[in-house]
Chains A and B, each alone.
Chain A
Amino acid sequence: MINFIQQYGGQLLYKLWQHIYISGISLGLGILVAVPLGILLTRMKHGSGVIIEIASVLQTVPALALLAMMIPIFGIGALPAIVALFIYSLLPILRNTYLGIQGVDPSLKDAAKGMGMTNFQSIIKVELPMAVPVIMSGIRLSATYVIAWTALASYIGAGGLGDFIFNGLNLYRTDLILGGSIPVILLALLVDWLLGKLEVWLTPTTTSARA
């Protein structure tokens, strides 16, 4: 163990950083696109079902296949990996945002509109805060997926902790496989825990602290 860290420590940190970088950007882009899109879908009378359906279909494409399909378009490296993982992160966030906003008590939306909030004010002040737990659970799900699949991105030359795992597989080196996979697991758990904290922080209080 100590041996391993002494030998690969620097490389491990570098690959870990790559891993965080790739999954972070993919997830970040996913949130930036899927949350507004999800909100937009709730404002559409028709077509929201179709778009959710399309996102669901994309989700069923095998991860490795999707990564491979990116190569003709974007070549190899981090970019195709980020694009592919971004596509993967979309669906859980999109669907949960849509369902979360859709699930906000209709009387709250009615009251917000009826009292003279603009559509935007209603979203920002009422609907998003109310939908936070549902949206956040979508984001947490996506984060876990993306971190796990970023390991596969190594296959198309994106780098990341997947490099350790694939090297280990090629060389029959258990220490390399574990040295790559354990940090991925720890990273996923850590990110999920952090996002959980964020969720609590974002979820609005509905009782005063007296109790």
Chain B
Amino acid sequence: MFLEMKHLSKVYGGKKAVDDFNLDVKKGEFICFIGTSGSGKTTTMRMINRMLNPSSGSIKLEGKDVLKADPVKLRRRIGYVIQNVGLMPHMTIRDNITLVPKLLKWSDEKKNERAKEMIKMVELPEEYLDRYPSELSGGQQQRIGVVRALAADQDLILMDEPFGALDPITRESLQDFVQDLQQRLGKTVIFVTHDMDEALKLATRIVVMSHGKVIQVATPDEILRHPANEFVENLIGKDRLIQARPSITTVGQVMYNNAVSITPGRSLKEALKLMHEKRVDTLLVTDDSGILKGYVDIEQIDYNYNTATSVDDVMTRKVFYVYENSIIRDTVEKILKRGYKNVPVVDENKKLVGIVTRASLVDIVYDALWGEADTSTNEDSTKDNKGKDKVTSAKAGDGQA
């Protein structure tokens, strides 16, 4: 494990700012700490590079105990990006970029080379190296702030709300920049933010914190689909939950509500009549309170018409159904694979609420391919890709009636 934090606590005057924090971080992960102010997210981050010393617990970086390391040497190995950029106003961009290499006593040649490499990375002309921070825009300054944290080949980078003070457009381009750098260079990033959009966009895993405690640790996808509690839901925001729909559309949202059903006690004649009226070849069988019991189709009725009397005698009790609340992405595949023409949809109590037909699946696939091409869902589709391989759990039920 690249970074291990165990039972980490920080107490300020009897108040626990961080309470029993546990997290294992693999190399190359992009971890976002999110929470309201006072949640302990920044405190936790600052303990990693010993800007604060934990009251108890342990931190290991590449197997070595951080708390026993020389804090100054430790910090030179860990990149550090803060909200207010913190570029030294009296140093040129070159000197700012090579600040840590200078502390590490690199040769001038090597420092200069690295400065050029870094300025290329932020896509600024080389003559900017001789300018001062005040001569750069806010966004450019923070780009320099980011590469300053990489200049000495730090593997772990801590970022404390680095884009909080930037306007939305600049912030987004900086996010793209950081994400690209992180993926390209394989850096491990711990990123503190209070902006859920930012966390969802950047993180491979999100750590939700409140009042010093970890509420949930999960991938962005899982957080969206299964927020641990109301606090997380509020943090995500109702708007965003709806926005995120393409990845979390539920079966209930795409099903037809007019499923044709019959109770087991009815006669086959009545069933046949109902089929004829509704122009369907299958009837779902429910009891008086609407609980799904099975189904009956035209073949069964035709075959047994003379020998059986009631629906109960001929119905198939084994029925594949899906829950109204399950995510469509997880259920579509099952429906297609099993080759059902249609699948009943039930609520938590197994009460029949609707039906998904192959026609409605066509709609979903159509939407997925063409509907998402417009701008609003671009972000979500990338999120989908990121989450896809990690999503294994599904709520879809599959059992006997």
On A, residues with C-beta under 8 Å from B are 105, 107-108, 110-118, 121, 125-126, 129-130, 204-208
Contacts and interface: CB of A to CB of B under 8 A. Distances in A.
A207 B135 contact: yes
B82 interface: yes
Nearest to B84: A107
B87 to A, nearest CB: 8
B132 to A, nearest CB: 5
**9 shortest interchain CB distances as A-B pairs:** A111-B86, A204-B90, A116-B76, A107-B84, A116-B75, A114-B80, A107-B86, A206-B89, A206-B132
Given A111-B87, A129-B90, A206-B89, 16 more contacts: A105-B86, A107-B85, A107-B86, A110-B82, A111-B80, A111-B85, A111-B88, A114-B80, A114-B82, A115-B149, A116-B100, A117-B72, A125-B88, A207-B134, A207-B135, A208-B92
Nearest to B49: A114
Interface of B: 49, 51, 72-77, 80, 82-90, 92, 99-100, 103, 130-135, 148-149, 158
Contact of B103 (A107, A117, A130, A206): A117
Contacts of B103: 115-117, 121
Given A113-B51, A116-B72, A126 B88 contact: yes
B150 to A, nearest CB: 12
Contacts of A117: 72, 103
Contact of B132 (A112, A121, A205): A205
B82 A115 contact: no
Contacts, number: 72
Nearest to A129: B90
Contact of B86 (A110, A118, A205): A110
17 contacts: A107-B84, A111-B82, A111-B87, A112-B86, A114-B75, A115-B99, A116-B77, A116-B103, A121-B103, A130-B89, A204-B89, A205-B90, A205-B132, A206-B89, A206-B90, A207-B135, A208-B92
A115 B132 contact: no
A108 B96 CA distance: 12
The secondary structure that dominates the A interface is: helix
B265 to A, nearest CB: 75
A186 to B, nearest CB: 34
Given A113-B51, A116-B103, A121-B103, A108 B86 contact: yes
B51 A114 contact: yes
Nearest to A114: B80
A208 B90 contact: no
A114 B83 CA distance: 13
B75 A113 contact: yes
Contacts of B83: 107
A111 B133 CA distance: 14
A115 B80 contact: yes
Contacts of A206: 89-90, 132-134
A129 B135 CA distance: 19
Nearest to A132: B90
A115 B95 CA distance: 13
A208 B135 contact: yes
A108 B88 contact: yes
Nearest to B151: A115
Q: Which of B74, B82, B90 has the most C-beta atoms of chain A within 10 angstroms of its own C-beta?
A: B90
A113 B82 CA distance: 12
A118 B49 contact: no
B132 A208 contact: yes
B88 A208 contact: no
Q: Which of B82, B88, B158 has the most C-beta atoms of chain A within 10 angstroms of its own C-beta?
A: B88
Contacts of B92: 208
